[in-house]
Structure formats: C-alpha cells, structure tokens
Structure 1
Amino acid sequence: MAWRIVHIKEGDILRLRLDNIEIIKMENKLHIPLSDISMIVLEGNRTTVTTKLLSSLSQHNIGLVICDDKYLPVGMYLPYGQYHHNAKRVINQGNWTDNQKAEIWKRVIRQKMDNQISFARYAGVEQERLELMEDLVSNLTVGDKTNREGHVAKVYFDSLYGKSFTRDEDCLTNAAMNFGYAIIRSCMARVVVGSGLITMLGIFHRNEFNSYNLADDLMEPYRPLMDFWINKYVLGDKDYLSYESRQSILSFMHEKITIDDKKMTIDNSMQEFVSSFISSMDNDDPDSILKIELNNFIGEES
C-alpha cells in the first residue's frame, strides 16, 4: 500500500525509470518506487516533469500537487478513470437524492464540529464557550439549514486565536492552516478519484466553479485534526512558514489514528472513510459512515 508523500523543494528533472520516479538535481539522482508513493508535492520554479512519468502517476493513483511562490498548493494532477467500475459508480453518484445528501452531510459536519469542540477543550478554552459550541451543535438539523457549522466556527476561532482574528489575516497561523488544509484536500481528492467518484458533484458544496466539491465535503472532519497538529508542532517562535514547518505538516498524513479499534495512518483512514461514505450513500444508511474523532488521534499521537 502506498504510504509516502514525496516533497520536492527544488529538482531539475522528474522522470520515469523502470517502476520508479527518478529525481535528478545537478549530478545527483534519487530513485523511489512508485508503489510506495501516494502523493508528490512540488515546490520551486525549475522542475521538468516528463509526460511518461505523468502517465505512470495516473496508473498508480498518485496525486501531484504544485505549489506557488508562497509554498501554497495551487494545482493538482489526479488520475482519470482508473477505478475498475468507474462508470457504474458515477451513475450511482448521480442518482443520490437531495435527501440522502442532506442526511449524510449532517453526520459529516457533526464530526467536524465535535472535533472542533474536542480541540478547543484540549487547548484550554473556557467552559462557557465550550458549552456555547455544544449548544449550537445540539440544534444541528438535516442538511445544516441553520448554518450551525458557521456559528460554531466563529466561536471556535475566536476562542483559540482571539476575537480580532480572521482567516484572511496574513500571519503564520493562517499560512499553516492554508497549507495544511490544502494538503488534506489534495489527499482527499486523490482518494475520491481513486474510488471512482466525480469530485465536482458534492453533497453540500455545489459551487459551479469548484472542481473539488466532494473532496471539500469529505475533508471537513479532518480540519480540526490538522488544527491540533499545527498548534502543537508548527506555531512557535517563527513568524513565517518555514521549510521545516511544511515538512512537519506533510508528516501529519503519516500519523496514526484509531478507527473502529484499528490503528492506521491519516492517509489510509481517508480511504476507509470514503469507502464507508460510498456504502452509506448506496445503501441509504447515513449512520454507517465511519467516525473520524480527534480524541482517537490525540491518543495515538501523544
């Protein structure tokens, strides 16, 4: 099973060498088996990638993420049509009803909000604000028509970073979250595509200009896990997102979490989560979706 996320800061040429990726930088060559790789993250402006390698990345269901000059992921190259029953799965996806989507979204977004509360409690947020978030979650409706998610997020970020904090602010916290969320999104998109689903057809996100609506839906429970990781390992003395910090964020995907009494990496848990999501939708059983719980991540990580 693929387990590596390869982070290439600067490379001259990336090409296929037998069943390996060959990374050439000046006089140095490095070979990594494609079967070991789940994703490649590229930084820098001088790297050449061969079309033969891109073809093999698709065949091995390997995602390729490209970062801008600020080291933030801005593009993805994903496999196309590699799932063995791709057409059947897409037809089923297109037949999911609005009611099914609303019911499963309630479960998905409930996981995110529960994890936000768990992290806020771990971070020492005062009990009054924890209770406010819990009260908001208790009023969650099918499809979250009253936007409990947005209200909880407001209390959550205010409680952690102060009432003056906004997600548009130019600061290390936002830079780290933007990078971390983009990595989660990329990994989730790779799993969604590898499972034969269309990323554009979401259950809640329906932006006509967004090619990754479904990935944005299913990554939601993982966001607070990344918040925990960033808070513990990235935020500190530096006021910028260093190379070491970006490496630490990437390592998050290899950390262990317990799901249904089984230990697995975050990356592998996404595959299990998406599989349970598909099953719950196809069988019209929203309660059967796996639960991604922050406490089961903190317990493994600590």
Structure 2
Amino acid sequence: MATTQSVITGYLISKLIEENIKVIFCSEDHNPCAELNGYYNNINRNQNMENQISWSIPNKQKLWTNVVNNKINNQLAVLKKYNLDTTEIESEQLAMVDNDETNREAVIARKYFPLLFGANFTRGDDSKINAMLDYGYTILLSAFNQEIVAQGYLTQLGIHHHSVRNDFNLSSDLMEPFRQFVDLTIMDKLDYDFDEYIKLELVDVLNQEISYDNKTYILKNAVSQYIHDCFSFMDEKRDRIGNVGMKDEE
C-alpha cells in the first residue's frame, strides 16, 4: 500500500493472509515500513531470506561487476546523446577490474556529473539540479525497495553496500544502472523550476519505455524482472543478467 490514506479492515487482512497475499505498508516517502506476515505461510519468504544470507562472495562480486559496467555504459549513452566528450569516462572504464576493486564507479561519477551538468557542478551542493536528482533517485529507490520486499528478500543485505545505517543497501546496489533515466529527464527539464510539475515528471520516469535484456519494458516492469533475474543469479538458478539500456540503444 503506497499511500497513507488507505483504510483496511481486519476481515480483509484475514482473507489476504488466508490467500497467502503479501501486503506491504509504505510510509509517506513510499518506502516499505511494515508488512503483514501470517504465522504459517511464510515458507517461501523464509527460504529466500536464508538463501540471501548464504549468497556466495564470488557471486556477489560477479553481480556487482555487472551492475557497475551496466551503469557506466548507460552514463556513456547519456553523454553521447548530448554529444559530450566521453574520452575520460571510456578510459576509466577500461581500467576497471573485477568487483570494481579500484572504485572506478566513484571516479567516473566525479567526472560524469560535471560533464553532464557543467564544469562547476558537484553532487551534494545546494542547487536545483541536485534537488531534482535527489528527488528522482528517491522515487527510483522506493520502487526497488517495494519490489525487493514483494519478492521476499531483505533490502538491508546488499551485495556491495553494507552500511548499518542504510536500511536499503541492496536497493542502492541494484538500482545503479537505472539512475541514468532520471538524469535524462532532468537534462530535458533544466530550464524549469523544481516544482510540482517537475516532481510529477520525475515520478513518471517509472512509466518510460526502456530496454532490458534486448526487450522493451515499462521501467517499473523492467525493475521487477531485473530484480527477479538478479536474485535467480545469486541463487544460482541462472548464469547471466541482461543489460539495462536506453530503448533502441542495445
């Protein structure tokens, strides 16, 4: 339930649990804050959580390498869309190693944002662009949080991020190749004030058509399939993850 305005009766709760239907409650920021759990029908969820806790380090590293490479490729696609110089980014990507042990992701981010938004731009300063980015990324994070919980896994246990202060380590990991769709929307709206219209446009990013695994999806549906595939990979039920990309770019 992604709204705090809903009212749900005890009878309906009982019927939902009886039918083994998961109900997730979200706070005002649309992030999961609680869920309904029946006493006797959590076998699949319990198994998923046990699997997640046991995910192997090599598989975590392989998935993180895939995530980072996919993110960088999408950053390059964004820069090329606006005919911006990608030489430095491509050079840094070539220096990337397994599990991004040399942290090329962060190095590239420090080069990517000034290339996209101007030489004087830095993430974290008090600017309209950063307010837009933060809002858009929060919408995206919320979508990942809801889907991860809906599929019966824990958002707290990441494959790369491990902060004890972050309840959404796994979401923060897996959403990386999707951030660039927010960047594109903001680039197209740079002349606008950060108002309700822009907020709605950023929410609507979830309804954009994108490419995943060489198929066209609405972004929020791609998130669901992508997360499912990532979990299947970590549970050793599949040996690859498809690429997230701009529509008609793959």
TM-score range, shorter chain: 0.7 to 0.9
**1:124 and 2:124 are equivalent in the alignment:** no
TM-score normalised to structure 2 length: 0.85
Displacement after TM superposition at 1:16 (Å):
4.0
Match of 1:250 among 198, 203, 210: 203
Aligned residue for 2:114?
158
Summarize the alignment of residues 1-302 of structure 1 with structure 2, pairs less than 5 Å apart: 14-16=6-8, 61=23, 64-67=26-29, 76-79=32-35, 85-126=44-85, 130-232=86-188, 234-238=189-193, 241-283=194-236, 288-293=240-245, 295-296=246-247
Gaps of 5+ in 1: 21-50, 68-72
Displacement after TM superposition at 1:14 (Å):
4.0
Gaps of 5+ in 2: none
Bigger strand share: 1
Q: Higher relative contact order by CA 8 Å / sep ≥ 6: 1 or 2?
A: 2
> CA, structure 1 residues 80+99, in 2 after alignment: closer, same or farther (shift >3 Å)?
farther
Displacement after TM superposition at 1:248 (Å):
0.9
Displacement after TM superposition at 1:87 (Å):
0.8
Structure 1 Cα separation of the partners of residues 215 and 187 of structure 2: 26
Structure 1 Cα separation of the partners of residues 207 and 7 of structure 2: 25
**1:63·1:186 contact (CA, 8 Å) conserved in 2?**
no
Give me the identity figure in percent.
24
Displacement after TM superposition at 1:19 (Å):
11
TM-score normalised to structure 1 length: 0.72
Secondary structure at 1:210 match in 2: coil
Structure 1 Cα separation of the partners of residues 36 and 97 of structure 2: 36
Per-residue deviation, residues 134-183 of structure 1 (Å, max 9, x unmatched)? 11112211111101001111110121122321112112111111000001
RMSD over aligned Cα atoms? 3.0
**1:103·1:143 contact (CA, 8 Å) conserved in 2?**
yes
Structure 2 Cα separation of the partners of residues 61 and 268 of structure 1: 19
Structure 1 Cα separation of the partners of residues 11 and 111 of structure 2: 49
Structure 2 Cα separation of the partners of residues 198 and 102 of structure 1: 18
Secondary structure at 1:15 match in 2: coil
The one-letter amino acid paired with 1:140 is M
> CA, structure 1 residues 196+111, in 2 after alignment: closer, same or farther (shift >3 Å)?
same
Per-residue deviation, residues 34-79 of structure 1 (Å, max 9, x unmatched)? xxxxxxxxxxxxxxxxx99xx9xxx565563424xxxxx7x64353
Secondary structure at 2:216 match in 1: strand
